[in-house]
Amino acid sequence: MEVVRAVIAKDRRLSVRIIAEETVNHAFYKDVLERLRKQVQQVQRDIADDWVLHHDNAPAHTALSFREFLAKKNIPVLPHPPYSPDLAPCDFYLFPKLKSKLQGHHFGTMENIQKIETDELHTLTENDFQYCYDQWKKWNHCVTSQGS
């Protein structure tokens, strides 16, 4: 948390993406994905072995140790075109939704920001996720057809 505060103190114009790249490395990302994978195996056994990972080409996602982890766990990855962060659901759906709660406000502390964003995440419904998935399918069709 101190690293994030130091980065923000240097330049308050930094985006969440830039801050995240400073703090999320391949080891952290691997740990998050492993916890997610185990949770899916426990809660959704019917899809536990039938899902595909879609992420962008951030350094944490393309690190050799992370790609080896994916291969070892037999986790298929949907190809993501380089320099296309806007094709990731978080970028075209979730982040804009979360950023709208932050724009034009000063929250004073990181804890206040975390509370506002956590509360916003809790408002997401199954319909929100379905809408996001439907939009992603459109984007994915564009990618697989190479824009045609």
Last residue of a domain, one of 42, 63, 80: 80
Query: How would DSSP label each residue in 14-30?
Result: --HHHHHHHH--HHHHH
Please count the residues of the chain. Answer: 148
pLDDT in tens, the chain (148 residues): 454 455 455 555 444 544 455 467 888 888 888 888 888 788 777 777 777 888 888 888 888 988 999 999 888 888 777 777 667 777 778 888 888 888 888 888 888 888 888 888 889 888 988 888 888 777 767 666 665 5
The domain of 62 spans 1-80
- Indicate if 21 and 74 belong to the same structural domain: yes
Is this model's pTM higher than 0.85 or not?
no
- Within this chain, do residues 96 and 71 fall inside the same structural domain, yes or no? no
* Residues whose CB falls within 8 Å of the CB of residue 84, separated by 6 or more in sequence, listed in order: 56, 143
